């Protein structure tokens, strides 16, 4: 599992919950999307506001500052004022543990 970092157990993050983790100096948002784990940059690309303080809407995260909306699976911008997509990170679930790429 080279390049992957264990961040939590699957039971630590219930469906619809999110947490911020730091991996290799990067703040990463980890979200349980109905049993599928998605990891994206935790900072909105508009004003660098932490997305962990935003809210989830379907499979998207919405920034609390100016309501920029991003697709969690792809990082795609769905609603301005942000125009730059989020970085995405590979996740792996193995033996009830969640790993994110470093």
Q: What is the pTM of this model?
A: 0.94
Domains and CATH numbers, the chain: 4-101 (2.102.10.10)
Query: Could you tell me the two tokens for 5?
Result: 């970092």
What is the C-alpha separation between 24 and 72, in angstroms, rounded?
20
What's the pLDDT tens digit per position in 2-60? 699 999 999 999 999 999 999 999 999 999 998 999 999 999 999 999 999 999 999 99
pLDDT-derived band at 62, boundaries 50, 70, 90: very high
- CA angle, residues 19, 20, 23, in degrees to nearest 5: 130
Query: Could you tell me the two tokens for 8?
Result: 């939590």
3-state secondary structure of 76: coil
3-state secondary structure of 91: strand
Give the model's pLDDT for residue 102.
Answer: 80
């Amino acid at each position: 599992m080279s390049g992957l970092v264990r961040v939590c157990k699957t039971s630590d993050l219930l469906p619809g919950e999110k947490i911020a983790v730091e991996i290799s100096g990067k703040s990463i948002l980890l979200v349980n999307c109905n049993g599928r784990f998605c990891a994206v940059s935790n900072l909105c690309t508009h004003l660098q506001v932490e997305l962990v303080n935003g809210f989830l809407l379907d499979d998207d995260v919405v920034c609390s500052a100016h309501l920029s909306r991003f697709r969690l699976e792809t990082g795609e911008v769905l609603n301005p004022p942000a125009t730059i997509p989020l970085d995405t990170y590979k996740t792996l679930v193995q033996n009830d543990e969640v790993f994110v790429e470093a």
